[in-house]
């Protein structure tokens, strides 16, 4: 009886631990790109969410610019400085030809 209880508790603890590490705590795309509320106590997450959209500190290579464009596909170049820098790099190399209106 005691070993069955221990096995059951071990299995429950293992499943609970796996759920904590494998399941996302929140879905950022469900509420839009800027899902962090201004008054959130999690300031580190808010800083990280803002910093990934900041302009890069050095020039992007064509490969990094291409990856940045894929990562920031939902961002606009007007609002996301990192995507704007990647767009400028790719237009400079001729990989993207901007539309003319």
Domain residue ranges of the chain, discontinuous segments joined by +: 56-101
Pick from 100, 90, 34: nearest CA to 63: 90
Structure tokens that stand for 40 in this block: 């959130």
Q: Could you read off the pLDDT of 18-74 as tens digits, one per residue?
A: 655 555 555 555 444 444 445 555 555 555 555 788 888 889 999 999 999 999 999
Q: What is the per-residue pLDDT for 62? A: 92
Alpha-carbon gap, residue 93 to 96, rounded angstroms: 8
Quick one: pLDDT band at residue 93, thresholds 50, 70, 90? Answer: very high
Is 17's pLDDT higher than 60? yes
């Amino acid at each position: 009886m005691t070993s069955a209880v221990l096995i059951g508790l071990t299995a429950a603890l293992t499943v609970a631990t796996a759920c904590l590490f494998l399941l996302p705590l929140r879905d950022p795309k469900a509420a839009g790109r800027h899902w962090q509320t201004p008054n959130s106590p999690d300031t580190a997450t808010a800083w990280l969410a803002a910093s990934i959209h900041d302009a890069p500190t050095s020039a992007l290579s064509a490969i990094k610019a291409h990856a940045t464009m894929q990562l920031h596909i939902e961002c606009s170049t007007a609002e996301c400085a990192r995507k704007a820098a990647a767009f400028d790099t790719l237009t400079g190399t001729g990989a993207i030809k901007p539309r003319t209106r």
